[in-house]
Amino acid sequence: MTAPFRLFGAQLSPYSVKVRSYLRFKGLEFEWLERTNARVEEFQRYAKLPLAPVLVDANENAVQDSTPMIEALEKEFAEPSAIPQDAALAFLSALLEDYADEWLNKAMFHYRWAYPENQDSAAKRMVEMLYEGTPAPDGAEDAVKTRMSGRLHHVGSSPETAPLIEGSFTRVVSLLENTLGGKKYLFGDRPCLADFGLAGQLAQLLSDPSPGAILRQTAPNLVAWIGRMENPKVEGDFTSFTLLRGALVDLLREEIAAAYLAWMSANARAVQNDASGVSVEIAGVDFVQKPQRYAAKAFTELKRKRAVIDEPELIALLEETGCDAYLASPATIASPEMAPDADAEVDGDEEGDGDED
């Protein structure tokens, strides 16, 4: 792709914010275009699917899906790199980025559309964006709330699963606060792919009343990091795997393996078997939702990356934390034409049928 770029997105879309932060970090020239009602025709010219973000280059080439988009840009624009040279850290970065896209997004969408105060805040901001500050039709905010809350089942949010989703959120906030410690970014003093994926989701959670209050009360380092990720910069080097390992053990064991990978594995089996639903026990709760094709494709890609790893220290860490119980088994075959299931903040956002990617 060739700069300058146009990025069609939305402030309430975690995947749009993720890509915008990345473009700023790379120092690539781009124009941020909110996906307003006035830009519907322009957006549809480039979007194969009604999903944001859409990145259009100077030659009118358009790309959707944030993770492959960023990976392609990394290959074309090498510096400053967001991928550690250490292969172990590079894999862990990819793992945490996918966790953000496919699992943390559930908490983001759940909090935003399951609670009235969060619904009111998000719907008001969304309508203001869509109508660009001009008067909106009567009932516009209510229509948004009805439509979006009606999609909660797509991320597995229900009264029965709410304690699991919210417990996962508060747990990962605490674990990331500890992982971050005194560093500028998760893996040292420059951001990696994990920073962009996690910050995209957590910035949305911080912007909503109730999860934002949790973050501000319990995770000051994380809140400062979210702000830093608006315009991330190289402020030093990535740390070493040896120094980072201890800070990652609990995160990998308690959240990545026990929640995210357990769900990803069950979802991949459901997609492969063409099942009508996914059911997996997580933290003693039966988590149920419809299968997600894009997540199955992402899991296959993650397992492909794991299959080429030969670093003994990383393998030992993945085995110790339970991650390899899911990652080391043969990859599930997922057809390449599977599209992102969408995150649907503005009629479809990418990953997870919750808000985009």
Please state the domain extents for the chain: 5-76, 87-353
Count Cα atoms within 13 angstroms, Cβ side, for 2: 4
- Strands 54-56 and 62-64: what pairing? antiparallel
Per DSSP bridges, beta strands 5-9 and 62-64 are: unpaired
Query: What pLDDT is recorded for position 330?
Result: 64
- List pLDDT tens digits, range 50-69: 889 999 999 999 999 899 89
Do 184 and 228 form a contact (C-beta atoms < 8 A)?
yes
pLDDT of 310-334, one tens digit each?
Answer: 999 999 999 999 999 999 976 544 4
> Which pTM was predicted?
0.93
- Residue 274 is predicted with a pLDDT of 96
Predicted pLDDT at 323: 97
Query: Which residues does 325 contact at the CB level (< 8 Å), separation at least 6?
Result: 257, 261
CATH number attached to the domain at 87-353? 1.20.1050.10
Question: Was domain 5-76 assigned CATH 3.30.70.980?
Answer: no
Shortest CA distance to 300 belongs to which of 254, 335, 343?
Answer: 335
- Which residues of the chain have a pLDDT value below 50? 332-339, 341-348, 350-357
Three-state SS for the chain is CCCCEEEEECCCCHHHHHHHHHHHHHCCCEEEEECCHHHHHHHHHHCCCCCCCEEECCCCCEEECHHHHHHHHHHHCCCCCCCCCCHHHHHHHHHHHHHHHHHHHHHHHHHHHHCHHHHHHHHHHHHHHHCCCCCCCCCHHHHHHHHHHCCHHHHCCCCCCHHHHHHHHHHHHHHHHHHHCCCCECCECCCCHHHHHHHHHHHHHHHCHHHHHHHHHHCHHHHHHHHHCCCCCCCCCECCHHHHHHHHHHHHHHHHHHHHHHHHHHHHHHHHCCCCCEEEEECCEEEEECCCHHHHHHHHHHHHHHHCCCCHHHHHHHHHCCCHHHHCCCCCCCCCCCCCCCCCCCCCCCHHHCCCC
CA torsion angle 176 182 187 193 (round to 10): 60
